[in-house]
Structure 1
Amino acid sequence: MAKQKTTVGTIDNKVLAFTAGRDVELDHALITVDCIGTAAHVAMLSKMPVKPQLITEDERKQVIAGLVEIIGLAQQNKFKIKLADQDVHLAVERTLTKKLGDLGKKIHTCRSRNDQVAVDLRLYAKEQLLETLEEAAALASALTAFGKKHEGVPMVGRTHMQPGMPSSVGLWATAHAESLLDDCVALVNAYELNDQCPLGSAASYGVPLPIDRQLTSDLLAFSRPTHNVLYANNGRGKMESLVLGAMSQVMLTLSRLAQDFMLFTMPEFNYFKLPSEFCTGSSIMPQKQNPDVCELVRAKASRVKAAELGVYDLIKGSPTGYNRDLQEAKELFMEGIAATRACLRILAPMVQATKVNKQALIDGFTPDVFATDRALELVGEGMPFRDAYHYVKENLHELESIDPVEAIKLKTHLGAPLGLDWDYFKDRIAAVKETVREERKLFNKAVTKLLGVKYPLV
């Protein structure tokens, strides 16, 4: 059987291809963060109080210059990960060794690939969560602006999909915006749990040399290192599952929003009209404008939840310590994040361009929609509620002259159609954006100092 020599031994070609899986392809997304993690590790080794010194200051500079060069190549899609490398970690080590000789062979001292993939995925998740928060804030802002613009437009409020009570377009739109802002809280919680540096775990059990795990954590702008080195490894999969759990909550909100758009743009409702550029045609029916974007968002919500459950299932029976099963979590993790972000990015401009048919919304009201409001008016005049309930039920004809526009003007309490606090939405959206700005600024400043060049690289 044909064999191939790799950095970590000679392996049968078929075994190599099977065990590498899709890492050679997927790990292109991790090249930059792997280099950043390696830079922090080498900087720590250069300060380790041992004699002879493991890495000199001059050697540290040489390694980091090599890592910066790799990051530049990655940005131009010119850095290659070969099958013999198996993954990004050994590809970076191979490249540095080719360039720096024996110095390149030193960089793996006191760490395992478990260390590397754990820190890579946490750094990757940091960036992806910040991007997701930014995109979620943009959609929440679009929904809020849509709601404010149509604040006074009445809309039938439904329960069981049947007409219920007077509502408004503003209430409908901002309900989805507020849901998304709560999802941002879950994303921030996931970010904070992810914000722990696992470097120094090695193969899960630490090393017999005086490494400084706090230093590597600080160099990478993590809030803290994971404390227990075994948990640093056991946290693999669990962290991905937590992040995907937050993503799946975002997708739950987006799926319901998409479902509403599909319903309310049907000719039978005609409440909203989706922009034609966000619809697709039929191969046989010339007149069709299909809400494919919304349908795909709904479908992708299931895909993201499946990714979360897929990771959960991979690790739920795993014994303590590293198991190769975790390799299969990477694709699910990346796919779930990518799908969520794609949906957020496509829905924001769609919401902004959606048209409201005020007359169709008003025409959607029938006298019975005002029944509950009228019963409560009678209560305000002194009638017991249950008596008012039965009176209105028996005299629905009395409601025929009520104007929907005027009806919603009576609902002014907190959070009602005409009681929406626009500063509440503005402030929450601003808070999300500020969190993103501050965390990104902190990370970029730390990496700029670590690499000795401005980060992100231009």
Structure 2
Amino acid sequence: MKLWDKGYKTEEKVDHFTVGDDREYDLVLAKYDVIASMAHAEMLAKVGLISKEESNALVKALHEIEKSIEKGAFTIGQEFEDMHSQIEFLLTQKLGDTGKKIHTARSRNDQVLVAMQLYLKDELKAVKMLTAELFDELLGLAEKYKNVLLPGYTHLQVAMPSSFALWLGAYAESLIDDLYMINAATAVCDQNPLGSAAGYGSSFPIDREHTTKALGFQTLKYNVVAAQMGRGKVEKYTAFGLAGIAGTLGKMAMDVCLYMSQNFDFISFPKELTTGSSIMPHKKNPDVFELIRGKCNKLQALPNTLTMLTTNLPSGYHRELQLCKELIVPAIQEMKSCLEMMTFSMKEMQVNTNILDDPKYDYLFSVDTLNQMVIEGTPFREAYQIMGQAIEAGEFKPVKDATHTHTGSIGNPAIEEIRLKMKQLLAH
């Protein structure tokens, strides 16, 4: 069954090529198509296009379909092109002609738009909560190890003293930046496109404000052409939000892999969280973090992929917009799994508390030693030259007890301030 069926059969090869894996992704979106259909049925009765009795019957039948989706019993048969045709068939099978009325004043275009945007709103909220969980874990670890120092690097050369509080707190605060992007993507998705039909509205006297309120959208996408142009755009903005988090997670995963190596030996994990080698019995490999790194690199490429898919399309609907589903749906699931695994793994991190006992890290304190000379009256440039000469001559004696007091330093990592910033973000 096709919603556009005009009495002739499409070539089977064309059918297979145009539908592709759409049914698989529609199983994810079907719940949202049903929710939107309920609001649409109620609106049709409100404006007098169907009776109240017909609307009630449609809503009741849609609730039954929704329950079957929740139980995992809903399927899309090969004879159906998509979730929309399957759902309309079930309604018609149960309600007869009343079921056929559900498509009044709608197009598959605005059906897909509204289902996708409802789905993205829910998934962005889930990603946000998983990110907040990782944030809490990182700040908890920062608090636990706030007095443990570790080397800071520039150009991968020993640079200045850092700490676990700074390292972990840096990634926590970076996640706040990423959630600003997630909030922006959510705002773009939170505009009701239902009623735009095929992209040019409808001659039926529909009430778009009613469905906006019923579906919990913040606002309406007023211009129907603009609503249609949102197809691909909401997915791309979501992808930018995901890519931000992926960038933070990928960088952190790289740090973990580096810090776990024997050459660094800053942190370790229980053997249960590592994997082995088929020929080297001593190996404990950081496969979890390497895969997070790789998956997050793929996710950072997603905005460009969606941009290339949609960049040269004029206004109006085009079939390649269907391909957005197969990009964004798996990406969201990948992002959630990376967040969950990073949080799960970081809970088990074990810290080497004596890293800076190694004399190769003495040079970390050259700046603190130099600064102490300045405090005692030596001009900075002169102190810098004296320090450089002492290092070259092998006469450098580090001052390791210098205090850092400014906000965001090793002596004052501002953990509670960062926590408050996240709390304020989550409140909006």
TM (norm. structure 2) is: 0.95
| Counterpart for residue 314 of structure 2 | 319
Asked if structure 1 preserves the Cα contact closer than 8 Å seen for 2:182 and 2:238, the reply is yes
| Counterpart for residue 41 of structure 2 | 42
Letter in 1 for 2:149: P
Shift of 1:433: 4.6
Structure 2, unaligned stretches of length 5 or more? none
Matched, 1:400 2:397: yes
Alignment counterpart, residue 372 of structure 2, candidates 367, 371, 377: 377
| Counterpart for residue 293 of structure 2 | 298
Letter in 2 for 1:150: Y
| Counterpart for residue 418 of structure 2 | 425
SS at match of 1:158: strand
SS at match of 1:366: helix
Alignment counterpart, residue 333 of structure 2, candidates 326, 334, 338: 338
Letter in 1 for 2:32: V
Shift of 1:426: 2.2
Shift of 1:274: 2.1
Matched, 1:310 2:305: yes
CA distance in 2, matches of 1:11, 1:73: 30
Task: List aligned pairs for 1:246-265, cutoff 5 A.
Answer: 246-265=241-260
1:134 to 1:361, Cα distance in 2 relative to 1, 3 A: farther
Shift of 1:13: 2.0
| Counterpart for residue 24 of structure 1 | 23
CA distance in 2, matches of 1:434, 1:286: 50
Matched, 1:125 2:125: no
| Counterpart for residue 4 of structure 2 | 8
| Counterpart for residue 411 of structure 1 | 404
Shift of 1:297: 1.2
Structure 1, unaligned stretches of length 5 or more? 436-458
Can you list the C-alpha shifts for 1:302-322, whole angstroms capped at 9, x where unaligned? 211232221111110011100
| Counterpart for residue 218 of structure 1 | 213
Percent identity at matched positions? 37
1:90 to 1:361, Cα distance in 2 relative to 1, 3 A: farther
Shift of 1:82: 1.6
CA distance in 2, matches of 1:348, 1:63: 43
Asked if structure 2 preserves the Cα contact closer than 8 Å seen for 1:157 and 1:164, the reply is yes
CA distance in 1, matches of 2:166, 2:231: 41
Higher mean C-alpha displacement, 413-422 vs 256-265: 413-422
| Counterpart for residue 450 of structure 1 | none
1:72 to 1:364, Cα distance in 2 relative to 1, 3 A: farther
| Counterpart for residue 191 of structure 2 | 196
Asked if structure 2 preserves the Cα contact closer than 8 Å seen for 1:199 and 1:216, the reply is yes
Asked if structure 2 preserves the Cα contact closer than 8 Å seen for 1:151 and 1:170, the reply is yes
Shift of 1:242: 0.6
Letter in 2 for 1:310: T
CA distance in 2, matches of 1:386, 1:361: 28
Shift of 1:348: 0.6
Can you list the C-alpha shifts for 1:149-168, whole angstroms capped at 9, x where unaligned? 11111111110011001111
CA distance in 1, matches of 2:345, 2:100: 52
Shift of 1:428: 3.0
CA distance in 2, matches of 1:167, 1:46: 65
Matched, 1:239 2:238: no
| Counterpart for residue 182 of structure 2 | 187
Matched, 1:87 2:90: no
| Counterpart for residue 32 of structure 2 | 33
SS at match of 2:150: strand
CA distance in 1, matches of 2:193, 2:213: 12
Alignment counterpart, residue 167 of structure 1, candidates 162, 166, 173: 162
CA distance in 1, matches of 2:13, 2:112: 23
Can you list the C-alpha shifts for 1:1-48, whole angstroms capped at 9, x where unaligned? xxxx54422322222111111111111101111100111111111111
Can you list the C-alpha shifts for 1:170-219, whole angstroms capped at 9, x where unaligned? 10110011101110111111111110010011010001121111111110
Letter in 1 for 2:4: V
Shift of 1:279: 1.5
1:223 to 1:241, Cα distance in 2 relative to 1, 3 A: same
SS at match of 1:80: coil
CA distance in 1, matches of 2:87, 2:247: 39
